[in-house]
Amino acid sequence: MNKRKYIGGFCLVLLFCIGVAFLVAGSHAEEIDVSAVGVGEFLQAARGLFRGEPKEIQDLREQEVAKTDEGHQEYYFQLLGEEEQRGYREMLNGIRAREEEFYLTIFRDEEVDRVYHALLKDHPELYWVHNRKQVFKTTYVGSDYCLFSPGYTYTEEEMQQIDQALEEAWREVSSLVPEGTNVYETVKIVYTYLIDSVDYELSEDDQSIAGVFWKKQAVCAGYAGAVQYLLERFGIPCIYVDGSAEGSTEGHAWNIVNMDGMYYYVDVTNGDQPQFLEGDAVSMAEHKTTIYDYLCPFPQEYELSYTPSAEFPVPECTATDKNFYVLNQGCFDSYDWQAIYEYCLMRLNYGAAVVRFKFSNQEAFDAAYSDWVQGKGIQEAARYYMDLYGMNEVEYHYGVLENLKTIYFMF
């Protein structure tokens, strides 16, 4: 039996090549009018002259560091130290302005790496900066600043096309969300929209939201960035998470979303499995099945397969109340053949295209799998379906997610 449980993919990979330039710091021939500045400013300027710091660095040190950025949660920014936060704002401003190189008031390799990672995780809209190629920084002997060169991916013309695609996608999604829609339903609409409009494909743009909205092709990093981008525009706090997948040498990326004060996993990449069902349904476009198992999955089940990177801590997910099956009375704590059969008939009576149910424990799932997949349970449901619609025969397809204890079938 063929079962497809997971689509592996490439995630955000950030490589840093550190170029060190050994320069001799010289002094600036500038005169300082002590009467025109305060003692603090005078001492800071004097230190700058002594160090041979450029005027730009002195100005950066004097700037106030904004604690928030409108429209963005900036979860990772809040985890940085004070000086790292200053470097974060400097990096954000330089990248937004598409400056080829700019000064940072941080210089240690680990600081620059950490800040750059935090920035790209917080700001998926910065699609034009390299996110899987080399970036460079130049440090100066005896100094505590550096010159940063991030590198950019797209031309101005391409950026105009991508920006247009982003806005078009936003209008499409917004039109699907009526006024007054609650947070969960909004998240579900975004989840479904991305699955319906994007293909899991490797490409030059697959690591960012440019691939999602412009080329309609991406891998997990693009999917997770797109979820964050759209939900933040709806004002819903959403965190980009990268980490590892069990049994895979590739990384993975997903989201943690705050809904009504609780945190939930959302993994659109794994929800987009067009070849999930058995048989020739995979060749039938109308049978592309949205896998809602990865919309607020049970944390203890999800965490058996996916582990976040250790670079930054992420919020703990514990709630199960917004799991798709819990909300739709399709999650069972024990196995009873008659109860499952009646549930399936109820779903068919309501015209459901796909019948799916889940179990909260392994023993119940194993018993159901034996009766419904290996046994004749689905065939019994098929007989009812034929009687319901006056048919003489019917073809059915099924799918199983063993890691999430779920069984699917459709006619």
pLDDT band at residue 239 using 50, 70 and 90 as cut-offs: very high
> Is residue 38 a part of any domain in this protein?
yes
The parent domain of residue 340 ranges over 328-411
Does residue 230 carry a pLDDT above 60?
Answer: yes
> Is residue 86 a part of any domain in this protein?
yes
- What's the mean pLDDT in 384-404? 92
pLDDT at 137: 81
Highest average pLDDT, of 25-34, 58-67, 282-291, comes from: 58-67
The token duo for 278 is 């058995």
End of a domain among 132, 149, 166? Answer: 149
Helix, strand, coil share of the chain (percent; to 5): 45, 20, 40
pLDDT at 399: 87
Are the C-beta atoms of 357 and 406 separated by less than 8 Å? yes
pLDDT band at residue 248 using 50, 70 and 90 as cut-offs: confident
> Is residue 283 a part of any domain in this protein?
no
> Is residue 49 a part of any domain in this protein?
yes
Q: List, for residues 217-227, the tens digit of each pLDDT value.
A: 999 999 999 99
Instruction: Report CA 355 to chain centroid distance, whole Å.
Output: 28
> Is residue 114 a part of any domain in this protein?
yes
Which residues does 18 contact at the CB level (< 8 Å), separation at least 6?
Answer: 109, 136, 137, 139
Taking CA atoms, 232 is separated from 152, 161, 263, in Å, by 24, 22, 15
pLDDT at 95: 96
* Lowest mean pLDDT segment, chosen from 188-197, 259-268, 278-287, 295-304: 278-287
Q: List, for residues 139-152, the tens digit of each pLDDT value.
A: 777 789 999 999 89
End of a domain among 149, 184, 206? Answer: 149
Query: In which order are the strands placed within the sheet that holds 146-149?
Result: 15-20, 134-139, 146-149, 102-104
> Is residue 50 a part of any domain in this protein?
yes
Query: Among 188, 185, 194, which residue's Cα sits nearest to residue 223?
Result: 194
Mean pLDDT of the chain, nearest integer: 86
> Is residue 332 a part of any domain in this protein?
yes
Are the C-beta atoms of 101 and 54 separated by less than 8 Å? no
Q: List, for residues 332-352, the tens digit of each pLDDT value.
A: 999 999 999 999 999 999 998
Instruction: Report CA 168 to chain centroid distance, whole Å.
Output: 20
- What's the mean pLDDT in 256-267? 98
* Lowest mean pLDDT segment, chosen from 117-121, 269-273, 304-308: 269-273
pLDDT at 62: 94
* Lowest mean pLDDT segment, chosen from 22-36, 252-266, 289-303, 355-369: 22-36
Taking CA atoms, 313 is separated from 71, 106, 294, 307, 343, in Å, by 22, 22, 21, 11, 41
pLDDT at 40: 47
> Is residue 172 a part of any domain in this protein?
no
Which 8-state DSSP code applies to residue 382?
Answer: H
pLDDT at 133: 59
pLDDT band at residue 276 using 50, 70 and 90 as cut-offs: low
3-state class of 79 per DSSP?
A: helix
Does residue 402 carry a pLDDT above 60?
Answer: yes
Does residue 79 carry a pLDDT above 80?
Answer: yes
pLDDT at 277: 57
End of a domain among 103, 128, 149? Answer: 149
Number of domain units in the chain = 2
- What's the mean pLDDT in 320-329? 97
* Lowest mean pLDDT segment, chosen from 9-18, 243-252, 286-295: 9-18
pLDDT at 98: 95
